[in-house]
Amino acid sequence: MNRLLMLLLLALLGGALEGCSSGIPVRVDAIAETTAPAGEIRYVLVNGNAGETEDDLFFREFWSYFAPILAEKGYRRVADARQADVRIRFRYAVSEGHTGISTFTHPVYALTGGETINITETKTDASGKTTTTRSTVEVPVRERYVGTRVERRRYTLFTSSAVLEARRMRPPKGRKPRMLWKTLISSTSESNDLRAIMPVMAAAARPYLTGNSGARKKRWLKLDAPEVNAVREAARQGIRE
């Protein structure tokens, strides 16, 4: 493997493993129609996970993080699809773990010097007289490279994801419901705890949800970041559409 490819792989791995100190990496990709409806928007919610319903406890908990965000943007949930302007399909998943070994090299330095050297010099002149001179030399302390330490670490990475997709209700006869907006959220880290990561993903997606991000955005958020705590608090208070 050439050196450039190795450096690129290490950089990608380092970014995934950096979450311990910098937070959890979240990628958000949002796209929307330019002619989004204005004012209050009534929606009906659909569980997009196969074999699950809207009464699933995990679904209800995960949705509680996004519901207040949608409410801020003028969305109100209704129970009757006949009264809804759009249908929102919400699904989520966490991947199987991918395990590997990362190798890091660290230079090793040692301190040398710092000692005192005693010097004794004896001279004899032409007449046979001997003279002894004593002096000391202080050797300064300095750091020098002495080798390399190799560190190997086993890691397992998981990818958590969530997708929110809104389609207009009541399309023209013979046509499928038209998509209004779609937001893709994913996070790759060493955690497979979707319950812990979901509020982080919701907080990261908050500026872009129902809109157009223009490109895939990446944010680093810690579990206790203020915006994440705000999302949790809104869910705890039971704020709904």
Contact 34, 180 (CB under 8 A): no
pTM over 0.75: no
Q: Measured between alpha carbons, how far is 32 from 25 in angstroms, rounded to an integer?
A: 23
- Let me know whether 144 and 188 are in one domain: no
Residue 127 makes CB contacts below 8 A (sequence gap 6+) with none
pLDDT at 239: 53
| Within-domain flag for 4 | no
Domain of residue 219, residue span:
22-98+158-236
Secondary structure class of 82 (helix, strand, coil): helix
| Within-domain flag for 32 | yes
pLDDT at 214: 94
Q: What is the pLDDT of residues 23-38, one digit of tens each?
A: 899 999 999 987 666 6
Run of H or E residues at 123: strand 116-124
Q: Long-range CB contacts (< 8 A, 24+ apart) of 150-153? A: 150/103, 150/104, 150/105, 150/106, 151/103, 151/104, 151/105, 151/106, 152/101, 152/102, 152/103, 152/104, 153/101, 153/102, 153/103, 153/104
The secondary structure of residue 226, as a DSSP letter, is H
Contact 95, 158 (CB under 8 A): yes
Residue 51 gets the label, from left (phi > 0), alpha (psi -120 to 50) or beta, of: left
pLDDT at 238: 74
Contact 239, 68 (CB under 8 A): yes
- Let me know whether 122 and 206 are in one domain: no
Number of domains, the chain: 2
- Let me know whether 88 and 171 are in one domain: yes
Tell which residue, 162, 200, 164, 163, has the closest CA to residue 43: 164
| Within-domain flag for 8 | no
- Let me know whether 32 and 74 are in one domain: yes
Tell which residue, 51, 37, 31, 30, has the closest CA to residue 84: 37
pLDDT at 9: 40
Low-confidence ranges of the chain (pLDDT < 50): 1-20, 240-241
